[in-house]
Structures are given as structure tokens and as C-alpha cells.
Amino acid sequence: MPVNLTAPDPASLLPVAGLRLGIASAGIKKPGRRDITLIELAAGTQVAGVFTQNRFCAAPVTLCRQHLTQGNIRALVINTGNANAGTGEEGLARARRTCEAVAQLMGCAAENVLPFSTGVILEPLPVDKILSALPAAQADLASNHWSEAAHAIMTTDIVAKGASRQVSVGGRTVTVTGIAKGSGMIHPNMATMLGYVATDAAIAPALMQQLVKEVADVSFNCVTVDGDTSTNDSFILIATGQAGNAEIADATGADYAALKAALSEVAIKLAQAMARDGEGATKFMTIAVEDGRDRAECKQIAYAIARSPLVKTAFFASDPNLGRILAAIGYAGVADLDVNALQVYLGDVLVAENGGRAASYTEAQGAAVMQEAEITVRVVLNRGSVNATVWTCDFSFDYVKINAEYRT
């Protein structure tokens, strides 16, 4: 079951002026399943995105990248149950047909539509089912359908993921609301995740790509479930510009910092929810690497620990077999790392120092921490002043079961 995670109260997901969402059922994988989400954007909305680094990227990712270069995005369409990945030119053609159908309904060009898919790879997109469901999705458009959309984009997720915040920017109240899906095949860059965070703030188009990357780097690019980078990962930032604030045009100003903080807070909550809802998860783990020379080496070590099957299975068993953490630190690939200079903590318990087991450490201390549902591993490198944090979960029997039975 998800670790200390519940679906957000629908009333807590605040409408964002200039954006409406509609949900419908296409029955792509299961009859009656609400699996189509349509998002309508007001004219003048700014959109930016970051996507999977998997070279076998899905057809909708390819189209999104193309369409974003042309600007003037007016609609997003999302389907679950089929990833439209590993589908070649036919997959691109089917994704284009979807965009064309949405454009006809919404009164815009096909290039003004961003398509997204998630689900099984290497199967043809059932485009006719999607096209049949689009009119119902359009008829369902409403500003307060964030919760419905959060449920509609789920695949193996158990809990819908959404969050909202409000912040003062330029003397105006600005709203930030986001939803995401992701539970397995999660690892940057990015992860099987779809994330959509919208704000009604006005921000200069030239700053949007910088902002979405900065937000992704402290949130969705800091989470791993199983070390597998998906073909479909997409994180989209939407700014409708309808809050009434003066357009943010300076990335060094206070308004940019305030907006970035609110966006990051929502994105971090969504990213952590993915690890809490990791397939079969029973433990939520924070891996904090401190006092490194640079962020890259800190994340390198953090990810080596977070994606280690041996570490993750030990945590599932509540077994303080902590030599597995030391091994992961050692093979992380930081060539000049002085293992005699670092300390390793499990929760608040000092486990290792001076190249080996801490003199004060007892097995009973480790066993007590391992019983907790949320556990922090701290690695203090003592070779600089830079820190990085990664979130992950354990590997349970259910992880194997879920993925063994994924297509059944």
C-alpha cells in the first residue's frame, strides 16, 4: 500500500484561471475506464516542457517537442492504457490523427495540440476509440475537474496525485495546481511519469523553458522507483497569465523566486507521491548526500543507493544489512572518493565512519530505525559544501507481482 499517502481532497485542488479539464471513457484497456483527459488553454497561455531522455521515446513525445517549438498551445490530450511507444511511423500517424481531431473540436491547428500517452509499450494506439471519446471529454470541460483528471491519468498508481498552492506575486494572489501519475518505471531523466503543473501567473515566454527545467531538477529529476527510464516521461508547465500580475521578465527578481518556490513545492509533493506510491512500496526512503564537491557527485552517490535492488530489498525486510549501502557508495563512480573521510547515518544513528562500522553503532539501533515507514539515509562526504536529495521506495514481493502481471 502507498506509504503515508492519500488522494487529495478534490476541493483542495484549486482552479487555475484560463484552464479547463474534461474527462471521458474510451475503454482503451478496460471497458468503462475514464482514460481520456482533455485540457483546454486560454489564448495567450505559455507552455514549456521537459521530456524523457530515453532514445526510444514515444510518438507523442516526438510530436510534443515539435509542437512546442511553434508555440500557441491551446489544448492537451492524454490517454492511459497505451503508451504509443515502439510503434514507428504508424504511431506518429495515429498521434497526429488525435491532434487533428482535438484541433477540429477546439477550433485551433493540430500543431496547437500536445498529445500524451501512457500504458503498454509496443502496441498500436487504438486511435478510433480515442476519437470517439473526444466529444464527451470536450462536453465535460470544467475548471474544477483537477481531481477527476488526476484519477484519469493513472495506470498502476493506487492513489491519485495532486496539489495546489497560492502565493503573492507582484501584489497579486497567484494559484499553482498540479497533477501527476507515476508508480513504476520511474527514474530520471525523467521518469514513467506524466506531470502537469499550471499557474495563472504571467511570465515572459523567454523564461518558461528555464523555469520548467529548474522546477524539474529539484522535483521529478530527484525521484526513482526502479531505475528504469520510461519512453513517455513528460513534465509540462503551463502559465495562463490571468492572475493580473505584471509579467515576470527577470529570472533574478523576487517575483520569479516566489513563483518558482510555489511551483517547486507543488512539483516536489507530486514527485514524492510517486515514490510513496511506488509499485508495491512499503517504505518511503530519503537519500541525502551532503558536503560534496558538486551536485552531480552527490546525486550520483544518492542514486547508486536509491536504485540498488539489494538496498531496496533489505529495507523491505526491515533488515539493517547496511553494508549494502556502503557497497553502493563505493561503486557509484566517484573515482577520488575518500571513504575514510565520510559518515553514513541511518535516521539519526551513525552507522559508519573512518572507513568502517562506527564504534557506537549497534544492530539493535539499526533494527529499530528499519521498522519505520519513512527512513532517511544520510551520507556526509566531508569534501565540499553541496548537498543533494533523492526519494525512493523499497522493493517488495508485490513489485515483482505487479510487473509480472502488468499486461494481464
Q: Outline which parts of the chain fall under CATH 3.60.70.12.
A: 10-276
Going by DSSP bridges, is the β-strand pair 172-181/161-169 parallel, antiparallel, or unpaired? Answer: antiparallel
Coil, helix or strand at residue 163: strand
CA distances from 342 to 54, 150, 371, 374 (A): 34, 42, 25, 23
Find the Cα–Cα–Cα–Cα dihedral 63, 69, 71, 76, rounded to 10°.
20
Hey, what's the cell of 144? 474544477
What pTM does this model have? 0.92
| CATH number given to 284-404 | 3.10.20.340
Annotated active-site residue 376? The verdict is: no
Q: Kindly give, in sequence order, each residue whose CB lies less than 8 Å from that of residue 269, ignoring residues fewer than 6 positions away.
A: 163
Looking at residue 230, its pLDDT comes to 61
The predicted pLDDT at position 182 comes to 79
Q: Which of 192, 199, 240, 392 is catalytic?
A: 192
Complete edge-to-edge strand list for the sheet that includes strand 75-82 = 19-25, 34-41, 75-82, 113-120
Give the per-residue pLDDT at 185. Answer: 47
Return per-residue pLDDT of the chain as tens, 408 residues.
Answer: 688 999 999 999 999 999 999 999 999 988 989 999 999 999 999 999 998 877 778 899 999 999 999 989 999 999 999 999 999 999 999 999 999 999 999 999 999 999 999 988 889 999 999 999 999 999 999 999 999 999 999 987 889 999 999 999 999 999 999 999 976 544 444 335 799 999 999 999 999 999 999 999 999 989 886 555 566 778 999 999 999 999 999 999 999 999 999 999 999 999 999 889 877 789 999 999 999 999 999 999 999 999 899 999 999 999 999 999 999 999 999 999 999 999 999 999 999 999 999 999 999 999 999 999 999 999 999 999 999 999 999 888 877 776 676 566
> What would the CATH number be for the domain defined by 10-276?
3.60.70.12
Radius of gyration over alpha carbons of the chain, in Å? 22
Q: Which residue is listed with cell 508508480? A: 183
Model pLDDT, residue 155:
84
Alpha-carbon distances of 311 from 18, 189, 293, rounded to whole Å = 46, 21, 25
All CATH 3.10.20.340 domain ranges of the chain, comma separated, are 284-404
Peptide bond into 189 cis (omega under 30): yes
User: What's the pLDDT at 316?
Assistant: 94
